[in-house]
Amino acid sequence: RLLSPTADGGVLDVQDGLVEVDAEGRIARAEPWSAEDPPAEVVDLRPMVLLPGLVDLHAHLPQLPNAGLGSGLDLLTWLDRYIFPLERDYGAVTARGTAPAAFRAFAAAGTTTVVAYAAIWADSTHEAFAAAEAHGIRAVIGKVMMDRLTYDTEIDPAEILETSLRQSDELAARWHGAADGRLRYAFTPRFAVSCSADMLRESAALARHHGAYWQTHLSEDAGEIDEVRRLFPDASDYLDVYDRAGAVAERAVLAHAIHLSDREVARLVESRAGVAHCPASNLFLSSGMMPLGAYLRAGVRVGLGSDVAAGPEVSMFSVMRAGAVTQRVLELTGRADRSLAVKPIDWLRLATLGGAAVLGLEGSIGSIEAGKEADLIAIDPRLTTPLPGDEPRIASADDVLSRLIFRPHPNMVRAAWVRGRLLAGPPGLGGIG
Ligand code: GUN
Ligand code: ZN
């Protein structure tokens, strides 16, 4: 079965379908199976469901070992206690040793594009890119930039800004567009609390210079927002801190964006900057509940992020479930209109085309449509039935997605491909790879 959002806002839902992938790894056709015109070489995936590969718009590679630890702490305490020590240890050797397993874990969960923060170290960021290059996953990665409250205890404070900009510039020159565009660079000032106005402005200028991405955190937690107000008293609100740096534009990926004023929402729409909605993280750290329905109605560009390790799992299906639960709670407490509810198939759209559009890649990935690159995942719906061995009993596209979101199985993603190439990670289908 082929199931995919389509660029025109519709849904491709073919019960017994054919996806033909050409030698360049592009989708030549996606249509109902017909015995009359089969391609030369055929892999029979029945009874799998084929979906577009998932896009994780926001994750932290060094933080994976901490996943599931520290729920309920406020953000700034959690960062100090659990995260900065872990990132401090994410040197080149650690990255070389663990990044391959991290990318296999993303692929095993069905993520074929991951947008990730490394740590503040240039050499380990380089190792993370090298691991992504070898693995085959599509990745946008950046070296974290912090010229305030850094966990680099060795560096002369007077040199942090220039060093961080130079190293990031070099990494972008080496990796932005590598592997035929499968790897891209994101300039990554951590957030306004740990960056000076100079760091924000200069990093945004470098991102423009390279045609690369610019990613940071925005309006996640009450304590963080207070701190930003204290540090940037002239800014009208949190988003304005980044706007004054010239950073709020297309190719900006702003994680969280929970507690926004109407002005900030309108400015996001106008600027075409993207939001990485990370509901699993937001529940885990009790950061807040993003009014997704209102943002979508306003026209904000939204994709989904795991935010591991503030999000406890790499699976985007678990992120979708946290998002759906968040929306239910907002409805139950009178803060969201039920008519704006995001349907199961629309969660898939957010996790595929939505994320792709934030990255400006909606022309090449995010859906199963002819001409796109073959970033695909195969899912076994039999693993999600309530009774083992039962037929899936699912008819509509919404029902298929509902099962995957609310009854996921850790092994249900059986294969993942980027540009038609099978990725290591998922348990694998007999006869493939
Ligand atoms: N804000 C600044 N850094 C971080 C981080 O590592 N995780 C989360 N969730 N928020 C942040
Ligand atoms: Zn984050």
Chain segment 6-23, per-residue pLDDT in tens: 999 999 999 999 999 999
Please say if the pLDDT value at position 238 is more than 90. Answer: yes
Pocket of ligand 1 (CB under 6 A): 60, 75, 79, 83, 190-191, 217, 220, 281, 307, 310
Q: For a ligand 1 pocket test, name from 217, 242, 256, 286 the mutation site with the most ligand atoms within 8 angstroms of its C-beta.
A: 217
Query: Do residues 418 and 181 touch, judged by C-beta distance below 8 A?
Result: no
Please say if the pLDDT value at position 136 is more than 70. Answer: yes
Give me the numbers of helices (H) and strands (E) for the chain, helices first please: 16, 17
> Which residues lie closer than 8 Å to 174 by C-beta, 6 or more apart?
126, 129
- Residue owning the nearest CA to atom 5 of ligand 1: 79
Supply the pLDDT for residue 314: 98
Q: Between 397-406 and 316-332, two packed helices, what is the crossing angle to 10 degrees? A: 100
Please say if the pLDDT value at position 433 is more than 50. Answer: no
Q: For a ligand 1 pocket test, name from 66, 75, 193 the mutation site with the most ligand atoms within 8 angstroms of its C-beta.
A: 75
Supply the pLDDT for residue 300: 98
Supply the pLDDT for residue 432: 52
Q: Summarize the confidence of residues 228-232 as an average pLDDT.
A: 98
Q: Summarize the confidence of residues 154-161 as an average pLDDT.
A: 96
Amino acid present at 396: S
DSSP H helical ranges for 48-145: 75-78, 84-88, 92-108, 122-135
Task: Please report the atom of ligand 1 found closest to the CA of residue 191.
Answer: 2
- Residue owning the nearest CA to atom 7 of ligand 1: 310
CA distance 383 to 393: 12
Task: Please report the atom of ligand 1 found closest to the CA of residue 60.
Answer: 6
- Residue owning the nearest CA to atom 1 of ligand 1: 217
281 C-alpha to ligand 1 centroid (Å): 10
57 C-alpha to ligand 1 centroid (Å): 14
* Residue given tokens 């704006």 in the structure block: 340
Task: Please report the atom of ligand 1 found closest to the CA of residue 285.
Answer: 9
Q: How confident is the model at residue 38 (pLDDT cuts 50, 70, 90)?
A: confident
CA distance 368 to 350: 15
DSSP H helical ranges for 244-384: 262-271, 279-284, 292-298, 316-332, 344-349, 355-358
Task: Please report the atom of ligand 1 found closest to the CA of residue 220.
Answer: 10
Nearest bound ligand to the CA of residue 283: 1
Chain segment 163-201, per-residue pLDDT in tens: 999 999 999 999 999 999 999 999 999 999 999 999 999
Q: Summarize the confidence of residues 93-115 as an average pLDDT.
A: 98
Q: What is the mean pLDDT of the chain?
A: 96
Supply the pLDDT for residue 123: 98
Q: For a ligand 1 pocket test, name from 76, 144, 191 the mutation site with the most ligand atoms within 8 angstroms of its C-beta.
A: 191
Nearest bound ligand to the CA of residue 282: 1
Task: Please report the atom of ligand 1 found closest to the CA of residue 311.
Answer: 9
62 C-alpha to ligand 1 centroid (Å): 12
- Residue owning the nearest CA to atom 3 of ligand 1: 190
144 C-alpha to ligand 2 centroid (Å): 11
Amino acid present at 283: L
Chain segment 318-340, per-residue pLDDT in tens: 999 999 999 999 999 999 998 88
Q: For a ligand 1 pocket test, name from 81, 145, 220 the mutation site with the most ligand atoms within 8 angstroms of its C-beta.
A: 220
218 C-alpha to ligand 1 centroid (Å): 9
DSSP H helical ranges for 28-91: 75-78, 84-88
Please say if the pLDDT value at position 430 is more than 60. Answer: no
217 C-alpha to ligand 1 centroid (Å): 7
